[in-house]
């Protein structure tokens, strides 16, 4: 009976060693996909090149058509925002916008309405000032931007 027990233990140990070796080999075969960074590690040059690429442009919503929910409107290719300028983002209780100073003045690159508001009127420029009005059933909020020394600045509310 001692010999059978020894053979059983030896067989169990041999099976455990073979299973462990197969597991280690499989992990090495698969490589970084299990243990490494997805897509590999990027160099500083690759990151700088990726950041220098232009942002994708989403389709713009039709102008003059109010939308009931959150709205994001972006510039189309060939619009004044194609000229790189000093961009700043602004937010109010009704929504927000991204403005940029371009040779013709200030230009609204994009805007969005917060939940419960909708975009009512937009003067995106380029002009001396650019404005977007957000309305809700109970409130009206206007975001107005002007360029001061080449930097977009939020104008104080006139209310």
CA atoms within 13 A on the CB side of 41: 5
* 73 has a pLDDT exceeding 50: no
- Please report the pLDDT score of residue 54 as a whole number: 64
* 59 has a pLDDT exceeding 50: no
- Please report the pLDDT score of residue 86 as a whole number: 82
Instruction: Compute the 3-state secondary structure of the chain and give helix, strand, coil in percent, each to the nearest 5.
Output: 30, 30, 40
What span, in angstroms and rounded, lies between the C-alpha atoms of 40 and 139? 50
pLDDT band at 131 (very low <50, low <70, confident <90, very high): very high
pLDDT band at 76 (very low <50, low <70, confident <90, very high): very low
The residue with tokens 């455990």 is 16
- Sign for the pseudo-dihedral over CA of 41, 43, 48, 53: negative
Candidates 109, 119, 120, 135; CA nearest to 71 is 119
pTM over 0.85: no
Q: Give per-residue pLDDT as tens, 93-113.
A: 999 999 999 988 999 999 999
Percentage of the chain lying above the pLDDT 70 cut: 69
- Please report the pLDDT score of residue 132 as a whole number: 93
CB distance 90 to 99 below 8 Å: yes
What span, in angstroms and rounded, lies between the C-alpha atoms of 40 and 97? 35
What span, in angstroms and rounded, lies between the C-alpha atoms of 27 and 36? 11
* 134 has a pLDDT exceeding 90: yes
Q: Where are the domains of the chain?
A: 1-53, 59-154
Q: Give per-residue pLDDT as tens, 30-41.
A: 765 555 555 556
Mean pLDDT (the chain) is 76
């Amino acid at each position: 009976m001692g010999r059978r027990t020894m053979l059983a233990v030896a067989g169990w140990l041999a099976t455990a060693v073979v299973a462990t070796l197969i597991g280690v080999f499989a992990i090495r075969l698969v490589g970084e996909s299990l243990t490494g960074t997805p897509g590999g590690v990027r160099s500083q040059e690759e990151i700088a090149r990726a950041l220098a690429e232009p942002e994708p442009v989403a389709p713009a919503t039709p102008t003059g058509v109010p939308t009931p929910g959150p709205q994001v409107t972006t510039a189309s290719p060939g619009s004044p925002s194609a000229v790189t300028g000093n961009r700043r983002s602004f937010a109010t209780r009704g929504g927000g916008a991204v403005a940029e100073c371009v040779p013709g003045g200030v230009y609204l690159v994009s805007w969005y309405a917060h939940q419960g508001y909708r975009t009512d009127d937009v003067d995106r420029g380029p002009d001396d000032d650019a404005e977007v009005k957000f309305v809700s059933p109970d409130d009206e909020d206007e975001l107005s931007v002007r360029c001061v020394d080449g930097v977009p600045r939020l104008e104080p509310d006139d209310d």
